[in-house]
Amino acid sequence: IRAAREHPLAAKVFAGDRGRQFQALLDDLGQLLDALERLPLTFAHADLNTGNMVAPQGSDEQTVLLDWQFGGSQVIGYDVSTVVGCCAVYEGPVYGQANEVTGPTINAYLEGIRRSGWPGDERLVRFGCLGAVTVRVTLVIPDLVLRAIQHIRDPERLATRMNYLSESLAYLLTLTKETRELASLGV
């Protein structure tokens, strides 16, 4: 964050309200992590991105997951953060803006949980999804800014990347309010 604030193009990513909200998130991080640790574990792919998903014969109803080398126990909702990160934030809007990818991904995860016979409170699942997105995507924005500063030499391309990271961060920070509310409910 310090490096971003010192860079003329990157400074706006954490300017104003975004900077204050991001700092507040950092200040509350311990409580959020404690709440996430209390979530139930589920089996997760843990590298869920479009390169590891195949729709047999172009199916809209079935997806086969490949490359299970990172598969194992994770908190419920973990895989949502990988999809959002890989498809909408880390490399830019590969499959849409963060605000276009996050909601449908969480809804699809919730639908899968329902189909599996999940007997618990869906708010707990939603908290897992949002919490994972917060920790694994929102909190990665400073690193993405730093990498862009270090590696993108074209000023126009860098400005585009900083604008996108600013928009993504602004949207992701809107999700933290619900994340905190769900965490405070003890779900």
* Confidence at 187, pLDDT banded by 50, 70, 90: low
Nearest to 76 by CA among 29, 109, 99, 31: 109
pLDDT tens profile 120-167? 899 999 999 999 999 999 999 999 999 999 999 999 999 999 999 999
* Beta strand pairing call for 64-65 and 41-44: unpaired
167 vs 108: CA distance, rounded Å: 24
Token match 């800014």: residue? 145
C-alpha pair distances (Å), 9 with each of 21, 33, 156, 157 = 20, 31, 10, 11
pTM for this entry: 0.91
* DSSP code, position 87: I
The pLDDT of residue 61: 80
pLDDT tens profile 72-116? 999 999 999 999 999 999 988 989 999 999 999 999 999 999 999
Evaluate if residue 25 carries a pLDDT over 80.
yes
